[in-house]
Structure 1
């Protein structure tokens, strides 16, 4: 494999330190992510739940042996749409020094291919209202602003 070839693959447990660093480096997310050692077990437990769930997939983009981006894809069966299955993109993150290189576009293309492979009716995502650059990116990737999202923090 050439060192400049981007590979998108299922995440492995060995990827966790690089994934955690990606999320901890996010100044906008506000999810409380941290690279502190005492938090590792929380991430490890979550990884195993995601990895073993048939309707959830965690992917990484790897370049020259390093994880440079990630996203999670969840498949949701709805009663609406005559029982349609939808795909939800979550936790998209590209390493700060790798943005603007087409990696995010490759992730979204991969997500679309996976959603089509599973015969999904639509591919959807939510983005923090403060991420205006991300919004422009998603629109360029073919996503349309169609709904208004609401959240209620429970913890």
Structure 2
């Protein structure tokens, strides 16, 4: 059964590996260990921001997917909030 949860720092190697596993990501990401400090810093900033959600999909204890949702305030639709979804990988 696949479950979704907030990403933890220990998920970073799996997340970065998924980001690197496509033609675009292969040229811009570096999944080698230890991970570049920039990934750790970005994770900490995302995790500390209540308007950000970095989530993982887990199947049998294995991280099998990830996505990031940024929550944005807007004036349209009477000030409705919206979520921008990015970095989706499975």
> What's the TM-score once normalised by structure 2's chain length?
0.90
1:7-58 CA-partner distances (Å, limit 9, x unpaired): 1100000000111111111213477111134652111000000001010000
1:28 is the counterpart of 2:19: no
The number of aligned residues is 90
TM-aligned CA deviation for residue 61 of structure 1: 0.3
Largest Rg, 1 or 2: 1
Does the Cα contact within 8 Å between 1:23 and 1:34 map onto a contact in 2? no
Relative contact order, CA 8 A, sep 6+: which one is greater?
2
Cα deviation, 1:40-91, whole Å, max 9, x if unaligned, reads 2111000000001010000000111111100011110012222111111111
**Which 4+ runs in 1 deviate beyond 3 A?**
28-31
Point out the structure with the larger strand share.
2
Give the superposed CA RMSD: 1.7
Q: Gaps (5+ residues) in structure 1?
A: 95-155
Aligned to 1:93: 89
TM-score w.r.t. the length of structure 1 is 0.54
